[in-house]
Amino acid sequence: VFPDRVSACDAAAERVAHALRSAVATRGQAILGLATGSTPEPIYAHLVKLHREGTLSFANVATYNLDEYYPISPLDPNSYRSYMHRHLFGAVDLPANRAHVLDGTVPESAAAEHAAQYDRWIAADGGLDFQLLGLGRNGHIGFNEPTDLSAEAAMRLPTRLVDLHPTTRADAAKDFGGESRVIPRALTVGVAPILAARSILVVAFGPNKAESVAQSLRGPITAQVPGSLLQAAPGTVTWILDEAAAQAL
């Protein structure tokens, strides 16, 4: 728990950089799962700074983003592909063909196959060394929204096309100019590939996240709070919070 977002994001970025460097040193490449949203923006700014200073290279990195609105053009400023280009991809030496974002332009009849192929690409790269996560106000991870499934069934969810939860649509309203204009569906990396990451870093800030942070960390493991499924992850899970997000712990 950090006193403020700036120090928390600096620490988070140093952890991402450490995970990247140690995977490259031991395996020759690093496979990173990345998040979008407002929380990680300063983390990407810090990584770009390290790259500009010459201490961090993405030359031997592949990235897999968590989610993308559906349908959406990659050129739409609200697409997560364009977010990643603005905040990271356009400013570092990550090979363009190693920067994966789910494709919001695939025809709906091909969406399931595209999602399954994304999981196969992650597996073919040896799985995720590191997954960066934000947490939704409703406890979602990626766009794995609260569900009535059993926790065991939710933990097996693959990458797929989903409907966004009303809370998620409300939170995205500012980006789309009103809640009714928010694209109501998305492609999301599933709970299963997220949990399989060798190391997971969850970052959450502000009083709006306090309840879902507390339920995720201290509550029962339930698919109604997808963040709580992280308690069952076989790898290392680290949470970086500011004091406001930690206030209900």
For residue 3, cis peptide bond before it (omega within 30 degrees of 0): no
Catalytic, 208? Answer no
Catalytic, 242? Answer no
H or E element, residue 204: strand 199-204
**Residue (30 or 35) nearer to ligand F6R, CB:** 35
**Residue (28 or 85) nearer to ligand F6R, CB:** 85
Output the CA torsion sign for 36, 38, 41, 43. negative
Q: How far is the CB of 248 from ligand F6R (least distance, A)?
A: 16
134 touches 230 (CB < 8 A) = no
H or E element, residue 50: helix 41-52
Query: What contacts 156, CB < 8 A, 6 or more positions away?
Result: 191, 192
Residue of this chain nearest to ligand F6R (CB atom): 134
**Residue (57 or 176) nearer to ligand F6R, CB:** 176
**Residue (130 or 143) nearer to ligand F6R, CB:** 143
Catalytic residue from among 145, 165, 171, 242: 145
Catalytic, 140? Answer yes
SS3 235: coil
- Applying CB under 6 A, which residues contact ligand F6R? 35-39, 66-67, 134-136, 140-143
Q: How far is the CB of 55 from ligand F6R (least distance, A)?
A: 26
Positions marked catalytic = 67, 138, 140, 145
